Structure 1
């Protein structure tokens, strides 16, 4: 869980995840959205891969990144459990007419 939150702590990495919500993208296409060096983007990609938030595959000379939302969902679920919160819908309270 801590690697996921470390990955999410950076605005550039959050933006990468946001872009990947639309579908898989190449490293080059993702990097075009930022004004940082390729080495810096490569470091961001490594952190996201280490956290399991993205997976990469080679397609010829390109590296294609895919979002893995289940890892984020699992981390958020565990985080809420630490505080005793539930992600399940709250039970409905009976209306006045239903109370005895």
Structure 2
């Protein structure tokens, strides 16, 4: 996982919207799918890309998979932007 993979994942508006949904906390995959007008397979593909980029974590709870933001990677990206901007 590196910045290149993270930025590629962030380049898609659907994936950015998924990340915005996860700001409120962990969500089941089905609950994420319910927010979009695309197939479950399409959302699953987006979640897979976000997971590969390290932006989300997943956890199986019974028969459901819950996704949440991986704040350590988000913080790393924000620190890079802050350094690039010359602050802090």
Q: TM-score range by the shorter chain?
A: 0.7 to 0.9
More helix by share: 2
TM-score, reference length from structure 2: 0.88
Within the candidate set 64, 73, 76, 1:74 is matched to: 76
Residue 44 (structure 2) aligns with = 42
Residue 7 (structure 1) aligns with = 9
The secondary structure found in structure 1 opposite 2:35 is: coil
CA distance in 1: counterparts of 2:38 and 2:71, whole angstroms = 25
Tell me how far 1:80 sits from its aligned partner: 5.1
Residue 96 (structure 1) aligns with = none
Runs of 5+ unmatched residues, structure 1: 89-100
Contact 1:77 1:87 in 2 (8 A): no
Residue 31 (structure 1) aligns with = 33
RMSD: 1.4
TM-score, reference length from structure 1: 0.78
